[in-house]
Structure 1
Amino acid sequence: MKNLSITQKKWWLTAHILFSAIWFGVTVTFLILSISVLTTNDSQVIKAYYTSMLQMEQTAGRASLIGTVITGLILSIFTKWGLFKFYWIITKEILTFICLVLGFFLIYYWTLNGIHLSEESIGDHFMANHYQLMIWIIIQVILLAIIFIVSVFKPWGKSIKRQ
């Protein structure tokens, strides 16, 4: 396969960083909105917070996640880094997959469930759902931060020793 030119690599890397930053920003915003839910008893305000989270998940969240994955794959495949040559890249791929599952399935499910439960009442079932959602949002923020750190420091060596 032909490698990207330096200019092409810089453009793809710029897109990758922007998509990643948006994804991280959306996740932090989710955390802020979920904390805000704890500060009110007004069911309409709570529903508005959850509706905002759902809208972000279905737009900027999904677009940034998909953009991050596609640009990351292109950078891995068409540069010297490769998909499985370095432990730090394999670590990023595993953590990205975990975050993908968290975002597309778990966080999305608990957000939808929170909207449904907030229409009934803000009781024990809603709060149990909300705390589960918050835990997974916090985990995703931590994992995304680790991905950024691994990207900057590039720890560990090659996964396969070549002669």
Structure 2
Amino acid sequence: MTMPPALRKFILVVHIISSVSSLGAVACFLALGLIGLGSADAQTARSPYVAMDAVARLVIVPLVFASFLTGLVQALGTTWGLFRYYWVLAKFLLTLLTAIVLLLQMDGITYVAAAAVEAALSNVDLLDLRHSLVVHAAGGLVVLLLTTVLSVYKPRGMTRYGWRKHQNQRGNRV
């Protein structure tokens, strides 16, 4: 089942906007995390974590899920399919992994933000958790960059399912 062209283009635009915007939002999150880790001033060290919580909840989570859902709609509503090409399946699984890791990180993000608001967060407080936020943000950025590259280059290669489907379609035409 394929979508009408106007709907397909609309979904594609929403997908591109949400995907690229999530990449930018994660880059900002990473920058805030680095500022929080590297600042010697207590106030400057605490304030990024409050902003990181807001950015994660209000920007990153909705954008990642919009990207995931619009990508799924595109895969199921176009001839690309979800299981026909390795690059589509890889993008889907990487985006799903990103969403899962993000949701698992939300408790830690909220915890650090609450600690920053309630007490004077020194450079050594919650250091492992603060490092984890930066490492996960950097990893998320790499994964989002990879999905963007896959979208542009679309490496060749059909899955076994895709190859069988392709052969069946060719057989029906002859």
**TM-score, scaled relative to structure 2:** 0.85
Distance 1:48 1:93 in 2: 34
Distance 1:109 1:156 in 2: 39
Of all paired residues, the percent bearing the same amino acid is: 23
Matched, 1:133 2:133: yes
Deviations 1:46-87 (A, max 9, x none): 332111111111111122112111111111111001111111
Distance 1:101 1:151 in 2: 21
Within 5 A, what are the aligned runs for 1:3-18? Answer: 3-18=2-17
Within 5 A, what are the aligned runs for 1:1-163? Answer: 1=1, 3-106=2-105, 108-118=106-116, 119=119, 121-160=121-160, 161-162=163-164, 163=167
Query: How many positions carry a matched residue from both structures?
Result: 161
Structure 1: tracts of 5 or more residues without a match: none
Letter in 2 for 1:156: R
Q: 1:44/1:7 Cα in 2 relative to 1: closer, same or farther (>3 Å)?
A: same
Three-state SS of the structure 1 residue aligned to 2:158 is coil
Three-state SS of the structure 2 residue aligned to 1:38 is helix
Distance 1:156 1:120 in 2: 53
Three-state SS of the structure 1 residue aligned to 2:126 is helix
Distance 1:120 1:126 in 2: 12
Q: Are the equivalent residues in 1 in contact too, given 2:25–2:55 (CA < 8 A)?
A: yes
Structure 1 runs of 4+ aligned residues shifted over 4 Å read: none
Q: Are the equivalent residues in 1 in contact too, given 2:91–2:150 (CA < 8 A)?
A: yes
Distance 2:132 2:91 in 1: 25
Structure 2: tracts of 5 or more residues without a match: 168-174
Q: Are the equivalent residues in 2 in contact too, given 1:23–1:65 (CA < 8 A)?
A: yes
Three-state SS of the structure 1 residue aligned to 2:159 is coil
CA displacement at 1:121 relative to structure 2:
3.5
Letter in 1 for 2:74: L
Larger Rg: 2
